[in-house]
Chain A
Amino acid sequence: MTLSELWSYDFMRYALISACLLGPACAMLGVFVTLRGMAFFSDALAHSAVTGVAIGFLIREKLGLQLDPMLTVLIFALLQAAIMAWLFHRSSLAPDTVIAFSFTGSVALGVVIIAMLGKYRLLDGILFGSIYANSPTDILRQAILVCIIGAVLLTQMRSYTLSTLNPELARARRLHTVWLNYLFALLIAATVVTALKMLGALLLSALIVIPPAAAKLVSGSFRGLLVISLLGGLIAPLLGVVASAQLNVPTGPSIVLMNVVFLLACALWRSRRRRLAAGAAPTSSPMPATAKS
């Protein structure tokens, strides 16, 4: 099947547009997620979708309200993000402990509600996603999210970089680090909810974590990190969607595998560059300038 044939199908066109929007947005957000060691946090929020969907269906069945499940997912994820961010600042518990109990607790609650409703089939869609189920409304939501992430990151990029590097130095520069952290947690929640349909809760972290992790291996500057993450975030999901259509394999795992290939390519590039640098360095040099870069 050629690319023009793929483009002629509505569901495929929406899938490709969705990949172009969400891949780079997740990668940009992922730069700070990985530098701040918050990969587990985004994973926890993705899994809170189980409870969000379950609560949506519970309200629909028991109260007869026809709520969009994405709305309950968003509300629950925002609530969980706000509670976790509050606990990070106010409790003496370590962040990974806070994440672990809210993560497992919310998934357990979701599974209990789903079991009570007898809707086990819901779990499949939440955990693995379905990018072909995208509608024009979903694309519009994703475009709005991309605009918000772009606007926040472009205006606050320096603030987030400094507060990631050293929060004390950021506070000394009169930056409101607490509000920046809340805003960041809310952005992750909104991204996770919007991108859930594409990859599902189990695979979503790959979209956020892998492109910046790969870029970090080969970039020598922050600009390099941003540009390579952006490229990886754009190319891997696009290739993933095309490969899944050509090979008739599930799309979510296909996108994740493309991200892994990108990471491996970056790792190989770095190792080759190091070998070349080691070969070029004079033996008398005590410490080559590129040794740590």
Chain B
Amino acid sequence: MSAVADREAPTSARTASQHDAAEFLCRAPLLRIEHLGVRYGPQWALRGVDLDIWRGDVLAFIGPNGAGKSTLLKAILGLITPTEGSILRDDALLPTGYVPQKLDIDASFPLTVGEFMAVNHPGRSFWFGGVPRRWRSLIMETLERLRIADLEHRQLGTLSGGQFQRVLIAAALLQQPQLLLLDEPSASIDRRGSEELQLLLHELHAQLGLTIVFVSHDLHFVHHLAHRVGCLNQSFCGLGPPHEVLSEHFLAEAYGTSALAPGRVHFHPASTP
């Protein structure tokens, strides 16, 4: 609608038009993936992937090893250039936080949690170790949000898996993201830690309105956290609410029927609380 027409329109019509525009914006996906394909040499890791990610979505990618889950996450992040297809963002500069699968750090790497946060701070400044005074309030506020302020002076190498995962999430939150991408967040932490992480991500989603996309092999974790689940094996063999996708049919299609034998894919929805 042109500016003149907008000025001349009756108040009720203008309100309706603004409402439509607002509704359209709300309905527009945060990120649209169209016919995405990624090839490593002669091997396709992903092919024909179509997906809309909506604001406030909590989306999980599951699938066997080599199914393209992490590749899809890295393509969304912009670390991998698609061989074919496209990824359209609602906002070209969509603030995105990334929590990598695992940081293989040398336990003797003498970087404290506070310093790791300073390294990840989006501000520009000279830095010579430590936590600069002007960044301290944001860093401590973020650490407190994740209930790890007491770890500020601990070296990264001395943290447990769960503590380390929280530090990585805190560092990602420093980017003030709208979209938070996590690669295997519950890997290398015990069951209790995994449950605490679930609650924490629920809390962040509710408090900050984050859109969360994660990759996981832990189907219990997925079942409790995700609003939608994408079952991947090069392309989506299932995409929908957890109770639909985490069914024997889709899991068998992604992992193969032999993988569903007892002790292979650990998931029994009936037994979950």
Q: When A289-B158, A293-B155 are in contact, do A220 and B110 touch as well, CB less than 8 Å? A: yes
Interface residues on B, range: 20 to 34
Determine the residue in chain A with the shortest Cβ distance to B171.
Answer: A169
User: Does B85 lie at the interface of the complex (its beta carbon under 8 Å from any beta carbon of A)?
Assistant: no
Q: When A172-B98, A172-B100, A292-B158 are in contact, do A223 and B108 touch as well, CB less than 8 Å? A: no
One of B106, B112, B119 near A221 (C-beta < 8 A): B112
Q: When A158-B119, A222-B112, A292-B107 are in contact, do A166 and B127 touch as well, CB less than 8 Å? A: no
User: Does B161 lie at the interface of the complex (its beta carbon under 8 Å from any beta carbon of A)?
Assistant: no
Complex alpha-carbon distance, A216 and B157, angstroms: 13
**B-side contacts of A225, CB under 8 Å:** 110, 129
User: Does B86 lie at the interface of the complex (its beta carbon under 8 Å from any beta carbon of A)?
Assistant: no
**B-side contacts of A219, CB under 8 Å:** 110
Asked if A154 contacts B128 (CB within 8 A), the reply is yes
In this complex, the member of B110, B120, B128 whose beta carbon has the largest number of chain A beta carbons within 10 angstroms is: B110
**A-side contacts of B116, CB under 8 Å:** 165
Asked if A226 contacts B119 (CB within 8 A), the reply is no
Complex alpha-carbon distance, A223 and B132, angstroms: 11
User: Does A283 lie at the interface of the complex (its beta carbon under 8 Å from any beta carbon of B)?
Assistant: no
Asked if A221 contacts B111 (CB within 8 A), the reply is yes
User: Does A105 lie at the interface of the complex (its beta carbon under 8 Å from any beta carbon of B)?
Assistant: no
**A-side contacts of B121, CB under 8 Å:** 158
Complex alpha-carbon distance, A292 and B112, angstroms: 13
Determine the residue in chain A with the shortest Cβ distance to B104.
Answer: A166
Interface residues on A, range: 20 to 34
Asked if A172 contacts B127 (CB within 8 A), the reply is no
Q: When A158-B119, A222-B129, A293-B158 are in contact, do A165 and B111 touch as well, CB less than 8 Å? A: yes
User: Does A35 lie at the interface of the complex (its beta carbon under 8 Å from any beta carbon of B)?
Assistant: yes
**A-side contacts of B112, CB under 8 Å:** 220-222
Determine the residue in chain B with the shortest Cβ distance to A166.
Answer: B103
Asked if A165 contacts B100 (CB within 8 A), the reply is no
**B-side contacts of A223, CB under 8 Å:** 115, 128-130
**B-side contacts of A157, CB under 8 Å:** 126-128
Determine the residue in chain A with the shortest Cβ distance to B112.
Answer: A221
Q: When A154-B126, A165-B111, A172-B100 are in contact, do A220 and B119 touch as well, CB less than 8 Å? A: no
**A-side contacts of B104, CB under 8 Å:** 166
Complex alpha-carbon distance, A30 and B153, angstroms: 24
Min CB–CB distance A37 → chain B (angstroms): 9
Min CB–CB distance B191 → chain A (angstroms): 19
Complex alpha-carbon distance, A171 and B130, angstroms: 23
Q: When A155-B126, A157-B127, A169-B98 are in contact, do A216 and B103 touch as well, CB less than 8 Å? A: no
User: Does A162 lie at the interface of the complex (its beta carbon under 8 Å from any beta carbon of B)?
Assistant: yes
Contact with B along A1-35 (1 / 0, CB 8 A): 00000000000000000000000000000000001
Asked if A158 contacts B118 (CB within 8 A), the reply is yes
Asked if A166 contacts B110 (CB within 8 A), the reply is no
Min CB–CB distance B13 → chain A (angstroms): 43
Near A by CB (< 8 A), chain B positions 135-175 give: 153-155, 157-158, 175
Min CB–CB distance A274 → chain B (angstroms): 13
Asked if A221 contacts B100 (CB within 8 A), the reply is no
Asked if B157 contacts A222 (CB within 8 A), the reply is no
**B-side contacts of A171, CB under 8 Å:** 79
Min CB–CB distance A139 → chain B (angstroms): 26
Asked if A292 contacts B155 (CB within 8 A), the reply is yes
Asked if B100 contacts A169 (CB within 8 A), the reply is yes
User: Does A60 lie at the interface of the complex (its beta carbon under 8 Å from any beta carbon of B)?
Assistant: no
One of A155, A168, A173, A227 near B120 (C-beta < 8 A): A173
Determine the residue in chain A with the shortest Cβ distance to B118.
Answer: A158
Contact with B along A30-46 (1 / 0, CB 8 A): 00000100000000000
Determine the residue in chain A with the shortest Cβ distance to B129.
Answer: A223
**A-side contacts of B118, CB under 8 Å:** 158
**A-side contacts of B77, CB under 8 Å:** 172
* Additional pairs, 20, CB under 8 Å, beyond known A165-B103, A220-B153: A154-B127, A155-B126, A158-B127, A161-B119, A165-B109, A165-B119, A166-B100, A171-B79, A172-B98, A172-B100, A173-B120, A220-B110, A221-B111, A221-B129, A221-B153, A223-B128, A223-B130, A225-B110, A226-B129, A292-B155
**A-B contact list, 29 entries, CB within 8 Å:** A155-B126, A158-B119, A158-B121, A158-B127, A162-B119, A162-B120, A165-B105, A165-B119, A166-B100, A168-B100, A169-B98, A172-B77, A172-B79, A173-B120, A216-B110, A219-B110, A220-B110, A220-B153, A221-B153, A222-B110, A222-B112, A222-B115, A222-B130, A223-B129, A226-B128, A289-B154, A289-B158, A293-B155, A293-B158
